[in-house]
Structure formats: C-alpha cells, structure tokens
Amino acid sequence: MNFRRFSLISVPYLWLFILFLVPFGIVFKISLSDYAISIPPYTPTLDLTEGWAGFKAFLSALDFENYVFLTEDDLYWKAYLSSLKIAVFATALTLLVSFPIAYGMANAPDEWRPTLMMLVILPFWTSFLIRVYAWMGILSQEGFLNQFLMGIGIISDPLIILNTNWAVYIGIIYTYCPFMILPIYATLEKLDPSLNEAAVDLGCSRTSSFWLVTLPLAKPGVIAGCFLVFIPALGEFVIPSLLGGSRTLMIGKVLYEEFFANRDWPVASAVAVVLLLILIIPIVMYQRNQQKMMEAEQ
C-alpha cells in the first residue's frame, strides 16, 4: 500500500528531477567552471578514473568567479534591468489590449464564443518564427503599415518602428496576448450576470458596476494572465533579436551571444542561473495566486 502510494507520487518528482534538476545541476556546475579552449569549452571536467583525489581536485577547481564577473561588467545588470523594464511594460500593454477582448468575448452571445475562442488560439497553429518574421514585413520602413499610413496620407515619411523597443513591445503583445486573454476570459465567463444587475439595482451606474464588481472579481484572472506573460517575456530571445535593434538590451539576447558568439559557456551559464533565480520569485507568486483562487472556489 505504502509502496504503491510512494511509486505514484514519485512519478512527477522523477520527471522534475530528470528534466529540471539534473539539467540545472549541469548548468550550475558549468557556471562554476572556467573558460577553456577545448571541447567542451570549459574546465575542469569530472574524471572519475582518478578516484577520490580526482574528485577533490575537481571540486577545488570550481569557484564563483563568473558570478563576480557579472557584477563587475555593467552590461549584465543593465541587461537584467532593461529586460525587467521591457517585460513589465509589455505585460501592462498586453493587459490593456487583452482585457477588452476578453470582456467582449465573455459578453458575446453564447453561440459566438467558440468561434471567438478559436480566433484567439488560431495563430498558434502556425510557427512562432514565421509570425515574428511576418511582423518584420509589416513594421519595416517599406512595410505594409508604413505603406498604408502613407497611402491614406496620415504620415509623409515612413515611421521607424522595426529595430526599436516599440517593435519588441508589439511582438510581445501579439505573441502573448492569448495567454492574457484566456485566463481573464475564464474568470469573466464564470461571473453570474445577475451580479451586475444586482449592483445596478442597488444604485450603481453601468460603469461603476464594472469597477466595483466585474474588475475585482476578474482580479485572479488578471494576475494569472500577467504572470503568464511576464515570465516568458523576461527571458524572451527571439522577439528582441528579430524585431529589436542593436540598442535593445535584453538578457535573453545577452545569453545567446555569450553562448554562441563568445562561446563562453561558464559566463553564459552564470547569466542563466541568475535569470532563473530572478524568475523564481514571480513563479512562486503565481503559484500562490493559483492556490488562493482554488481555495476561493471551494
């Protein structure tokens, strides 16, 4: 009995161990190593043929040098800070765009809802990379957007959007807004319409009923959506590297360049470990929010 319970519980833990803890351990170990021109490009590597003494020598060669280096070169903390700024701002913009969509969906006639839901999910059926490349075509100086705006005479010179932070925001909003829409829609859709009628009955206008009843009750969905956008946006690499310019500083891009341009695996690993530590805070907060939501439903 006990064994059966144990074996059942152990499955997710085993999964986490193999796919999360072991890779993390390897990355962490590399972050403590030193750069070397060799294959693999770091030293020391664990050689068990020398037995206990070899293992001790291996341990003594590990140090936190790379982490110290991260604090010395201001590129890194600037990249973290700039990523944080872009992620926060992009999350807020995504919320602004997504809430009205989710609200409209939740208030649409029942027979439309599956179709609207489909429209939100549909872009996921094509490759993410292709969609980002499509945005390059839209936003570039000769792109559709500039051609359209100049065509109808709003602007005379093309706007420079591509390769700026604005292109990154547009990319993040576009890519992640389904993650914002769906949890908000889920909470709004569950709301009893008579709650708003009751608020109006008790003297609210339609607007104040929205602020006093709908919005507070949509809060769990809003929080869940914000985390679902913020967490991947913070480490985003594809969008800033394709849509952003040379001055768009994001940690995902720095990470990529350390690994593949500099081939400095130890420093890149240190960057990745710090990024993970930064991400753990919102992830834990998200989990607690989910837990609170579940408790409130009971």
Q: Are strands 42-43 and 34-35 parallel, antiparallel or unpaired?
A: antiparallel
**Using CB under 8 A, which residues numbered 69 to 88 contact other proteins?**
none
Give whichever of 114 and 203 is closer to other proteins, judged by the CB atom: 203
With CB under 8 A as the rule, give the number of residues binding other proteins.
19
Give whichever of 109 and 203 is closer to other proteins, judged by the CB atom: 203
H/E stretch holding 58 reads helix 51-60
Among 109, 192, 247, 277, binds other proteins (CB under 8 A): 192
Among 27, 204, 231, 276, binds other proteins (CB under 8 A): 204
With a CB cutoff of 8 Å and minimum separation 6, the contacts of 98 are: 177, 180, 181, 184, 225
Q: Does 291 interact with other proteins (rule: CB under 8 A)?
A: no
Alpha carbon 236 to its chain centroid, in Å, reads: 6
> Nearest approach, Cβ of 204 to other proteins (angstroms)?
6
Considering only the stretches 71-79, 117-125, 194-202, 264-272, report the one whose residues sit in contact with other proteins under the rule CB under 8 A: 194-202
Asked if residues 229 and 183 have their Cβ atoms less than 8 Å apart, the reply is: no
Q: Does 228 interact with other proteins (rule: CB under 8 A)?
A: no
> Nearest approach, Cβ of 89 to other proteins (angstroms)?
28
**How far apart are the C-alpha atoms of 202 and 110, rounded to whole Å?**
27
Of 201, 204, 230, nearest to 216 (Cα)?
A: 204
Give the number of C-alpha atoms closer than 13 A to the C-alpha of residue 121, restricted to the C-beta side. Answer: 9
Q: Is 222 helix (H, G, I), strand (E, B) or coil?
A: helix
Among 213, 238, 276, 293, binds other proteins (CB under 8 A): 213
Task: Give the interface with other proteins as residue ranges (CB under 8 A).
Answer: 192, 194-195, 197-205, 208, 212-213, 216-217, 296, 298
